[in-house]
Structure 1
Amino acid sequence: MSLNNSLMQRDLQVLWHPCTQMKDHETLPIIPIKKGEGIWLEDFEGNRYMDVVSSWWVNLFGHANPRINDRIKHQLDNLEHVILAGFSHEPVIELSERLVAITPEGLNRCFYADNGSSGIEVALKMSFHFWLNQGNTRKTKFVTLSNSYHGETLAALAVGNVDLYKKTYEPLLMTTFTAPSPDCYNREPGESWEDYSLRQAVAMEQLLAEKHEEICAVIVEPLVQCAGSMRMYHPVYLTKLRAACDRYNVHLIADEIAVGFGRTGTLFACEQAGITPDFLCLSKGLTGGYLPLCAVLTHDRIYQGFYDDYDTLRGFLHSHSYTGNPLACAAALATLDIFEQDNVIANNQKLIQKMADATAHFADHPNVAEVRQTGMILAIEMVQDKTTRTPFPWQERRGLRVYEHGLKNQALLRPLGNVVYFMPPYIITEDQIDHLAKVAWEGIELATR
């Protein structure tokens, strides 16, 4: 038995993998990875796979990046972890200073959590608690967009709207208000992204006008609803939403966990709308894909709403064991160094254009409804009927066929249902993009026969 197969059998005896129907692995092999280097993952038989999905959207500058490695190794020799209540350390102070400097103006307080879903919970609790500290007991609800996703802990699930993840747990979840998504896949023929997004903003305005006295905050994924099949919308929606939240005295939570740190073409997606949210949630790419860490940034008005004598019990008494972990902060600092020193955002413009050029012909495929792109995120939506945009029955799992073809051709193309997407590390080359486009085209041909 090969080492790959031996490890797979050992795995299946003891592991329960995330977001997986384990029975699939009776026929679909698990791939044990021996090492990562740059864009490549390598198994124990020497097979290599381009990590086109950045290992669930976290990896920005490749596996085993020497600059991030060195920063973590140096930190490991000094301090691996310390409680952040009553104590601090240099990496978390420096990281906070730098995040305040690079995020939208006015966000000047950093609160840390262990991962993205936990950070969403922080923002939700902080918003609710702020209003409570103001003596406002009516604001207990949140507004979410249809087709949204914010994580899989219970409060994060509650403010999401993808049935695949949420429906089973509905009895456990708090109730929310749902506004229609500005997802431009649903625009009318000939309608622009901007016009459709403006039209959808009207429904949000109406909801806030009617229910604002009950609403703590609106939570959105700026520009791209990632787990919601990589659906995208125009920045004008965010501009309108910020104005509406101000008008009706409602907080705005921007979940940039997946779309932050250059994924949409700017360092943060909110920049494209020229807005500052009340809460900005950052994770995934924050550490370059090395270690779990989430930063929730907010402004002084929120911070001052909790600042009081202890016996008033107005403090935000929320914590995580590994809050502000020094090793994770070191990885984040190295990641920010690379952004600053390598002119990443400007250099990515060539890659963005190359991805567009390499996949332009997909729009002519009889089973492709749309090729859409926002910055370094590109999605190809397969359908049964192009004219009516009738989807393939989900039970047929057409995207899985593309995934299996990719694995045979050095590409990790893990789909979202019938949507094939690229969200690669920023070190990808133009030749590698051409290879991915070729493999994706072949996979879609096979999948739609």
Structure 2
Amino acid sequence: MTADAIVLGAGIIGVSTALQLARRGKSVVLVDRKEPGLETSYGNAGLIQREGVVPYGFPQQFGLILRYALNNRIDAHFHWRAIPQVSSFLAKYWWHSNLSRHQLIARAYAPLIEHSIATHNELIEEAGAQDLIAKDGWTEVFRTNAKQDGEFREAERLNKEYGVAFKRLSPGELAEQEPNLSGDFVGGLRWEDPWSVKDPLALTRAYVKLFESLGGRVLKGDAKSLSKTATGWQVVAGDGLIQAKDVVVALGPWSDTVTKPLGYNFLVGVKRGYHMHYAAKGNAKLNGWTMDAERGYFLAPMNQGIRLTTGAEFARRDAPKTPVQLARAEAVAREIFPLGERLDQEPWMGARPCTPDMMPVIGKAPRHQGLWFAFGHAHHGLTLGPVTGQVIAEAMTGEKTLIDISAYRPERFG
């Protein structure tokens, strides 16, 4: 089988890339070992984070780092045995998170985020997936005035520099918005621009259906079988070989299984995360996506139930699950909202692919013709799927890209 392009990886980044290429008239084969959308893209908080112009940095305050070292928090957890393996990534992550460097990174990162809603909306409308979207933002709730004041100052800065909209919520306004939350909060901050996705897997599959309606093909295959040919690339998928002039590596945290054999050594760490779905007790209802800011977990009212998500776990990508953060988060969440029984047989776990400079790898491979990269989106894979797919497709077809993608170029890793 031949095609114009092969896309390796059927998460939201790969699906969006394949779809954007198909929208430009290219014949595309999307290859993954599993059905689309079942890995990292499945387990997020379901937000298209227009407000997320500043990527999540590594703590710089020594006292806070010491508190994290106690390894008893919800927002971060680590495996001691993994520290030697991830120390190089963590050291460079910490270095890039310095205030001045972090601000420069945010300015380079912001253009991707700024186009996240518009590029999603275009695909949502074409896919007929409007019923999966809520357009009323999300809310941080605060236990202390100190945390609230700090977040308000940051929100004002983001509004001034990047046009991000927000609203302060008094305790009374928060209670009106979420009457079933406990009264332990001093107020809230509602980010007004983001959209919420009621079922991330269903959205990914809606994009896949649109891709297939444009002639795209989805096949199960082994990305590690990728090899160079005289005219392009080939991979084993379906019942045989797929050949194409171009190939896009969009394998998220597994991208190294393809890039390393080709001689590329990207420093990509993983932040693992967990979720569980719950029923609500009685007639209780959670109206919107809500983050307990001081504790670092999310409650999201999704179609499958109320999804409780954790922060980051620093561990080897393929290490067994250790959902201790989920247990900690559940205990606290039950104090602020009447969660009922668990609806999943076991906690879900996924691995977010993270670069030390907090920006994804997007662009043409420097040493191979027809090889393209699109991975490393950390916490914003769902947010950045369509815009990443669009700029990659534009670059591959010789169009002027929607934004300048030089800041995300693979060459920055040497």
Q: Of Structure 1 and Structure 2, which has the larger fraction of its residues in helix?
A: 1
Structure index of larger Rg: 1
What is the TM-score with the length of structure 1 in the denominator? Answer: 0.25
Higher relative contact order (CA 8 A, sep 6+): 2
Q: Of Structure 1 and Structure 2, which has the larger fraction of its residues in strand?
A: 2
What is the TM-score with the length of structure 2 in the denominator? Answer: 0.27
